[in-house]
Structure 1
Amino acid sequence: MPNYLALSLCLLGATATYAQSSKPLYQNRQATTEARVQDLLGRMTVEEKVGQLSTLLGWEMYQKDGQKVNYSTAYKKAVDERYVGALWATLRADPWTKKTLLTGLNPKLAAEATNALQKYAVEHTRLHIPLLLAEECPHGHMAIGTTVFPTSIGQSSTWDPALIKRMAATIATEARVQGAHIGYGPVLDLAREPRWSRVEETYGEDPVLNSQMGVAMVQGFQGSSLKSGVNIVSTLKHFTAYGVPEGGHNGGSISTGQRELFQSFLPPFRAAVKAGAQSIMTAYNSIDGVPCSANTYLLTDVLRKQWGFQGFTVSDLGSITGLATNHRVAATPPEAAALAINAGLDDDLSGYGYDKELLEAVKQKLVAPEVLDRAVGRVLRVKFEMGLFENPYVDPSKAAKLVKTPANVQLARQVARESVVLLKNEKDLLPLTKTLQRIAVIGPNADNIYNQLGDYTAPQPESNVVTVLEGIKAKVSAATQVTYVKGCAIRDTTSANIAEAVAAARNAQVAIVVLGGSSARDFKTEYQSTGAATVTAAAGGQVISDMESGEGYDRATLDLLGKQQELLQAVVATGTPVVVVLIKGRPLNLNWMAVHVPALLDAWYPGQEGGNAVADVLFGDYNPAGRLPISVPKSVGQLPVYYNAKRPTPHDYVEVNNKPLYSFGHGLSYSKFEYSDLHVSAAETPGAVQIKVRFKVKNTSSRAGDEVAQLYLGDDVSSVVTPAKQLKKFQRLSLKAGEQQEVTLELTADDLMLLNSGLKWVVEPGTFTVHLGASSEDIRLKAQFKVNQAVEKAQ
């Protein structure tokens, strides 16, 4: 018997060894990623390769029957006939997708749905290639039941990259445990055109602040390993210069020179690529007549050759087809597909930009086989790096436990609190005392959950969102009378109850008026195939939605819409002290209230915990330290009005001066801070320079608080025109009452460089001025230093 047992064990071992060795190389987890990619490419047909480059709209790919979910007929057809390799927004729910709280998926069902989709892809395709699932994740995973954080313009108002990294890691976990692999975000467009509809999705007007926030998001999303089960690939948007369209028209053409492109618009993307971002999305616009989705210079020369990007590129929705239909740089759809893929655009978000059009382009020899393999290999590489060939599934019970936990909700509250910007606080009206007996809460955004959340937000049960009214009621005792009157809508002028609001204000000790805008999508609005709203000027007397911001809602003015200004003026006229809370997605015209209202708070779109966060600030349980990431103009006639415009300094207009109403970096606190003892030292070595900037910040008040110290740099004389000052470093400091802290900020050659007339990055010898203070206009300390030797960056 022992001999037979030994023989059997030998045979079993040999069989196992043979089975392992007979496996295709691409299925061997011990092989290198590159070897696996090349082996798989060598086994694929042209049709299978093209299918891997199609990212279809995903919400039609599952079917729900009560508490059961499975793949749909549409998905089976897409896999069987088109070999699709990826889906987008499978778990998305909003009026555009027509997925509601009833028809959409909770986290557990979402995990079951993505498992069903993966199972079909893995088990019913010839080569068993798993699916990539991309989701919208700019301020939370855009799916039912997830945590909703402040929109990006609020995130950057925190000036706290470490906090944003924590937030991004939380978003990544919530998305990954439901089966997602890619998160669209961060949006790194510079917002220098506030009429543009998507300002809320950006980090504002400055390349350095944008870079810091972008790096934080990438690091939080991707973590240290994409195989962790809680991390996702970060897709940077939109490459590039999308946020400054002429006239504010979303997707419109932009005007910029190459030097400005490299000095302002590209640095945030470069920083995020350096941080390891694995995906990048092209923008709809053209630059100097070349559409970004067919720009070889950007997609190959800059992104790949100069920056060493190793991930994959993806089109924005429909932008490949747009090369023929919008930009008119291609005569036919196959020519458009060829233009895009030859330029370096790998993946098609839509499923109709490549697909049969790319197959036809290959057939016509407009696309070489090696170009197709290059693009497919980049997409497959991510699938291997995420471990999807070994582990394509997720645990639905884990999704139910890890999405929107109490800790995640608390983090949303912290991000919202840090994002609140105190614009004005005359005679220290704020913070309010909790012993007030009568408070009037007035305005269209005081008790509207969706107006508080911003674009790219899924439907919410009312219990998920704390409005400003609810936050205030929770903050005061039962003995305090809180009277709420809506007063008017954001845009609709057909009805209002201003008289009732006035009566409430007259009877109150303080009136808190909550105004602004809305990006809340509704089921009445028509949407384009890209998901942007179809917007037309409203006819007189027509009942319209509140939505005046969000993708597609570009503005001609920045005035408060509807009867909001009339409401505010009527309330102020009562003589009752007024606090205005602004909930909105872009800078608005605040001129009148800046003069006539003693206290102004800007909360942007603060997310699901926004009401608690605003109440924390109003009543002093949190000392505000948010800072503006974008300038607030006095008039659209000033635009553009960003702080770091190139010299010469703009002169005044006949009607107004050249300054914004509130400048970049502005924000007040309930504490007072003093800056002193600035010391700047420069050390030069061949090919390098290091500048140490030391100074002290003291909290001179009796209340603990945060200060955001901001270091701006000016190149006093330069060979090409530069800004008078440009943010280079910042640090958010927490100081107890009376506490003083010494801060050291370091500048290197990269911080001092400009792109000279020969388009080379250099540090030029000469003097530089350090501007140190609390905003771009509130400069407390200045000092000069000198650089003696030129430094040139290797190209």
Structure 2
Amino acid sequence: MRAYLILGLYLMGAAARAQTARPVYQDPQAPTEERVRDLLARMTVEEKVGQLSTVLGWEMYEKKGARITTSAAYRKAVDERHIGALWATLRADPWTKKTLTTGLHPGQAAHAANALQKYAVEHTRLGIPLFLAEECPHGHMAIGTTVFPTAIGQGSTWNPALLQRMAAAIALEVRGQGGHIGYGPVLDLAREPRWSRVEETYGEDPVLTSELGVAMVKGLQGSSLKSGVNVISTLKHFAAYGVPEGGHNGGSSSPGYRELHQSYLPPMRAAVRAGAQSVMTSYNSIDGVPSSANQGLLTDVLRTQWGFQGFTVSDLGSISGLVTSHHVAATPAEAAALALNAGLDDDLSGYGYDQALLQAVQQGLVSGPGLDRAVGRVLRLKVEMGLFENPYVNARQGARQVNSPAHVQLARQVAQESLVLLKNEHNLLPLAKSLTSIAVIGPNADNIYNQLGDYTAPQPAGRIVTVLEGIKGKVSAATKVTYVRGCAIRDTTSADIAGAVAAARQAQVAVVVLGGSSARDFRTEYQSTGAATVPPAGGTAISDMESGEGYDRATLDLLGKQQELLQAVVKTGTPVVVVLIKGRPLNLSWMQAHVPALLDAWYPGQEGGHALADVLFGDYNPAGRLPISVPKHVGQLPVYYNAPRPARQEYVEMDARPLYCFGHGLSYAQFAYSDLQVTTRESTGPLKVEVRFKVKNTSARAGDEVAQLYLRDEVSSVVTPLKQLKKFRRFHLPAGQQQEVVFELGAEDVQLLNQQLEWAVEPGVFTVLVGASSEDIRLRGQFTVTGASTRPAAGR
């Protein structure tokens, strides 16, 4: 009897323990896959669909003085729709209507994130933590964060190691405020400068974009997503988004299969190989198939061929766009089914899946395993990030990490390295600090928002250093600095060209700061995607905005009265330095012919004024290189340097060459290249080609050089480019010093996609071109490949 009593007590205890035991999905010691399977088995269809909804986040909190709480809209979204993620919760800009007053400052942002997370964890049946995704193209797009140069400026650094440090700083600021996903980097190739989003890219070249993209991924994600200081990197945009027909944002693109795989996909593939855990689809279609419903890309290439293990996410509203824009689906349910079955996991908007996906499941358009596959990919990363164990952040610590002195200094360094000296006739630059009078002229000389680019939050007073402020900080009180705005970027209703002319005549040098702007304002209207809407002609107010998402151009000329202003100042005879602040290549032909010194800053970020003054006065020796070709005229487009042969023939009106080529950039120092040696090893293993040469600083001042190696396949079975960048390196050389540079080429550097659509290494002669730009070639050599190999191409 006693034995039965003991057994009964044991069984009762075991039953009680089983009832109170932690579920497998909440056990941090259990393998990730077991946790995900256990959680999926417990979820309803509605809960699964909800996990695939990433909804707009800035309406999900309420701010009343210092008190931050969840909003009724958020609680309803969690309770009724079981949402799994928010996007742009901490974002502030005119589109979101969040200002310095109504938006969240760093400490408040962390409190808001914790409040949102607490409700998701404690007020839902399964307690699944929330993902917070944030925009991170050149800094976290939130109040108080560090604003780095935009990506086209980052690309001009040609410095992957620097960008990795920058990305790590951005990740720290995002994670410290409660974010988990950083949207970026943008890996589109910008071969269409009329397109509004050139500023978000690293330029026109697949190799440069690949190297910088990999650096960004490594910086954002670090070595462990559980670190507490790293975020998931979301690659944008998959695929071929940067070459829309006519430059129309989101328009169709028409690369051939070979060009798609040889040029547009390699940066994505490199970033996936580097461990990127999220990929965003693009708005465009390719050869008639929208990217958000392209199984060949999302499943065959991305997962089967590249082995991608993370999750995919739509661009905002692109699933609905299958109905409203592309017209490949008749109903929202059909659109949801097309997207999910193609391999698109997560819905950025919250209305592309949601009820439409539930209907698709009910109608049998989406299978249970198909739904589980998508949900599992999202849940897996929540587990791997450790959110089930530690969903909250330390608000006080997070606030201290944002815009720290170290990050401000890093922003200055990125800006310094991004500056491209286009022209410096008679060594006008650097300027002497002993000048007694300087005229600073132009619409971008003292405008903080025009300096920052698109995807930028409102800025606290005193945070941004303008060009005018940077110049004033460099010279002594004895130097008279006169500032005249002269004109606006676009508005022609008011100008003070006479005042600018008077200031220039009385100065020893005139620094004229021109270009464009992506600065949004609260008068701008926006599409549902967040892209700005170009206002109709004849409006009462014209903003400076002529670039940034939605602002495509028909010409690349300076707008407004900027050209008139520049010509009037040049006519005074005072030496002129033009500083360009802009988001895309513009028509610089007149100033190239008439202005002695041109300095391209793109959008240089919060420390841009300091960086520009450092270069203008010689405290920093510029070494930025163009990541994109600059045309002489819009009628030349496209002018990217690595176009397929034959070489472009000349026009009646002008030649076909760009005004400034890819890779161009001057220095205050001079560098000589010598002693090229090319050694091939093929018989004892995989193809290896070693390229050695020497670079010497032949000047009296130290500086950085960017050595570039291009390759030409002399005879091939399919058409190949006249030249293609394969390797590059930025390095510092003291005055008079010499350094040997060694590059190693392998099979991937010489392969092509043959007529059978296989990746092939073909026997033949290859020419090595080494120099300081794609046109400034200093050394030439050749090597011969004797062996051959093939492998199937991705997606075939």
- TM-score, length basis structure 2: 0.97
Letter in 1 for 2:489: I
| In the alignment, structure 1 residue 613 sits paired with structure 2 residue 611 | yes
Q: In the alignment, which residue of structure 1 is the partner of 2:629?
A: 631
Q: In the alignment, which residue of structure 1 is the partner of 2:753?
A: 755
Does the CA contact (< 8 Å) of 2:757 and 2:792 recur in 1?
A: no
The unaligned stretches of length 5 or more in structure 2 are: 1-8
Q: In the alignment, which residue of structure 1 is the partner of 2:662?
A: 664
Return the alpha-carbon distance in structure 1 between the equivalents of residues 541 and 595 of structure 2: 30
Q: In the alignment, which residue of structure 1 is the partner of 2:372?
A: 373
| In the alignment, structure 1 residue 80 sits paired with structure 2 residue 91 | no
Q: In the alignment, which residue of structure 1 is the partner of 2:412?
A: 413
Q: In the alignment, which residue of structure 2 is the partner of 1:352?
A: 351
- Secondary structure at 1:129 match in 2: coil
**1:465-522 C-alpha deviation (Å, 9 max, x unpaired):** 0000000000000110000000000000000000000000000000000000000000
Letter in 1 for 2:592: A
Q: In the alignment, which residue of structure 2 is the partner of 1:3?
A: none
Post-superposition offset of 1:791: 2.5
Q: In the alignment, which residue of structure 2 is the partner of 1:50?
A: 49
Does the CA contact (< 8 Å) of 1:494 and 1:543 recur in 2?
A: no
Letter in 2 for 1:194: P
Identical amino acids, percent of aligned pairs = 77
Q: In the alignment, which residue of structure 2 is the partner of 1:228?
A: 227
Does the CA contact (< 8 Å) of 1:142 and 1:456 recur in 2?
A: yes
Q: In the alignment, which residue of structure 1 is the partner of 2:452?
A: 453
Does the CA contact (< 8 Å) of 1:687 and 1:791 recur in 2?
A: no
Post-superposition offset of 1:725: 0.4
Post-superposition offset of 1:19: 6.9
Equivalent runs, 1:139-150 vs 2, <5 Å: 139-150=138-149
Return the alpha-carbon distance in structure 2 between the equivalents of residues 16 and 238 of structure 1: 52
Post-superposition offset of 1:22: 1.8
Does the CA contact (< 8 Å) of 2:443 and 2:488 recur in 1?
A: yes
| Distance change >3 Å, CA 730–CA 17, structure 1 → 2 | farther
| In the alignment, structure 1 residue 697 sits paired with structure 2 residue 703 | no
Return the alpha-carbon distance in structure 2 between the equivalents of residues 558 and 188 of structure 1: 23
Post-superposition offset of 1:357: 0.3
Post-superposition offset of 1:792: 2.5
| Distance change >3 Å, CA 438–CA 379, structure 1 → 2 | same
Q: In the alignment, which residue of structure 1 is the partner of 2:3?
A: none
**Which of 633, 648, 652 in structure 2 is aligned with 1:654?**
652
Letter in 2 for 1:771: L
Question: Once superposed, what is the RMSD of the aligned Cα atoms?
Answer: 1.4
Q: In the alignment, which residue of structure 2 is the partner of 1:5?
A: none
**1:645-674 C-alpha deviation (Å, 9 max, x unpaired):** 000000100111010000000000000000
Return the alpha-carbon distance in structure 2 between the equivalents of residues 162 and 15 of structure 1: 56
Letter in 1 for 2:175: R
Return the alpha-carbon distance in structure 1 between the equivalents of residues 18 and 509 of structure 2: 78
Return the alpha-carbon distance in structure 2 between the equivalents of residues 768 and 165 of structure 1: 32
| In the alignment, structure 1 residue 159 sits paired with structure 2 residue 158 | yes
Post-superposition offset of 1:538: 2.2
**1:99-123 C-alpha deviation (Å, 9 max, x unpaired):** 0000001110000000000000000
Q: In the alignment, which residue of structure 2 is the partner of 1:601?
A: 599
Does the CA contact (< 8 Å) of 2:290 and 2:322 recur in 1?
A: yes
Post-superposition offset of 1:18: 3.4
Equivalent runs, 1:281-296 vs 2, <5 Å: 281-296=280-295
Return the alpha-carbon distance in structure 2 between the equivalents of residues 399 and 460 of structure 1: 18
Q: In the alignment, which residue of structure 2 is the partner of 1:773?
A: 771
**1:450-471 C-alpha deviation (Å, 9 max, x unpaired):** 0000000000023000000000
Post-superposition offset of 1:375: 0.4
Q: In the alignment, which residue of structure 2 is the partner of 1:7?
A: none
Equivalent runs, 1:489-638 vs 2, <5 Å: 489-539=488-538, 542-638=540-636
Return the alpha-carbon distance in structure 2 between the equivalents of residues 429 and 259 of structure 1: 46
Return the alpha-carbon distance in structure 1 between the equivalents of residues 20 and 617 of structure 2: 69
Post-superposition offset of 1:543: 2.8
Return the alpha-carbon distance in structure 1 between the equivalents of residues 630 and 18 of structure 2: 67
| Distance change >3 Å, CA 714–CA 20, structure 1 → 2 | farther
- Secondary structure at 2:378 match in 1: helix
Q: In the alignment, which residue of structure 2 is the partner of 1:114?
A: 113
- Secondary structure at 1:463 match in 2: coil
**1:333-359 C-alpha deviation (Å, 9 max, x unpaired):** 100000000000000000000000000
Equivalent runs, 1:263-412 vs 2, <5 Å: 263-412=262-411
| Distance change >3 Å, CA 36–CA 772, structure 1 → 2 | same
Letter in 2 for 1:595: A
**Which of 734, 737, 740 in structure 2 is aligned with 1:739?**
737
| In the alignment, structure 1 residue 97 sits paired with structure 2 residue 93 | no
Return the alpha-carbon distance in structure 2 between the equivalents of residues 612 and 664 of structure 1: 26
Q: In the alignment, which residue of structure 2 is the partner of 1:4?
A: none
- Of the structure 1 ranges 769-778 and 785-794, higher mean CA displacement relative to structure 2 is found in 785-794
Runs (4+) off by over 4 Å: 14-17
Post-superposition offset of 1:140: 0.1
Return the alpha-carbon distance in structure 2 between the equivalents of residues 758 and 183 of structure 1: 39
Return the alpha-carbon distance in structure 1 between the equivalents of residues 79 and 211 of structure 2: 44
Q: In the alignment, which residue of structure 1 is the partner of 2:422?
A: 423
**1:343-382 C-alpha deviation (Å, 9 max, x unpaired):** 0000000000000000000000000000000000000001
Return the alpha-carbon distance in structure 1 between the equivalents of residues 149 and 59 of structure 2: 28
Q: In the alignment, which residue of structure 1 is the partner of 2:678?
A: 680
- TM-score, length basis structure 1: 0.97
- Secondary structure at 1:603 match in 2: strand
Equivalent runs, 1:435-446 vs 2, <5 Å: 435-446=434-445
Does the CA contact (< 8 Å) of 1:141 and 1:147 recur in 2?
A: yes
Post-superposition offset of 1:698: 0.3
Does the CA contact (< 8 Å) of 1:687 and 1:792 recur in 2?
A: no
Aligned length: 784
Return the alpha-carbon distance in structure 1 between the equivalents of residues 409 and 15 of structure 2: 51
Post-superposition offset of 1:688: 1.7
- Secondary structure at 2:602 match in 1: coil
Return the alpha-carbon distance in structure 1 between the equivalents of residues 20 and 101 of structure 2: 49
- Secondary structure at 2:390 match in 1: coil
Does the CA contact (< 8 Å) of 2:711 and 2:724 recur in 1?
A: yes
**1:232-276 C-alpha deviation (Å, 9 max, x unpaired):** 000000000000000000000011100000000000000000000
Does the CA contact (< 8 Å) of 2:764 and 2:785 recur in 1?
A: yes
**1:249-308 C-alpha deviation (Å, 9 max, x unpaired):** 000001110000000000000000000000000000000000000000000000000000
Post-superposition offset of 1:686: 6.5
Letter in 1 for 2:437: R
- Secondary structure at 2:234 match in 1: strand
- Secondary structure at 1:464 match in 2: coil
Post-superposition offset of 1:535: 1.2
**1:136-158 C-alpha deviation (Å, 9 max, x unpaired):** 00000000000000000000100
Post-superposition offset of 1:794: 6.0
**1:140-181 C-alpha deviation (Å, 9 max, x unpaired):** 000000000000000010000000000000000000010000
| Distance change >3 Å, CA 656–CA 26, structure 1 → 2 | same
| In the alignment, structure 1 residue 465 sits paired with structure 2 residue 443 | no
Return the alpha-carbon distance in structure 2 between the equivalents of residues 204 and 44 of structure 1: 44
Post-superposition offset of 1:399: 1.1
Return the alpha-carbon distance in structure 2 between the equivalents of residues 15 and 777 of structure 1: 78
Post-superposition offset of 1:534: 1.1
Letter in 2 for 1:66: G
Return the alpha-carbon distance in structure 2 between the equivalents of residues 457 and 386 of structure 1: 27
Q: In the alignment, which residue of structure 1 is the partner of 2:6?
A: none
Post-superposition offset of 1:685: 3.6
Post-superposition offset of 1:762: 1.1
Return the alpha-carbon distance in structure 1 between the equivalents of residues 586 and 722 of structure 2: 26
Q: In the alignment, which residue of structure 2 is the partner of 1:189?
A: 188
**1:45-88 C-alpha deviation (Å, 9 max, x unpaired):** 00000000000000000000101101100000000000000000
Return the alpha-carbon distance in structure 2 between the equivalents of residues 29 and 707 of structure 1: 49
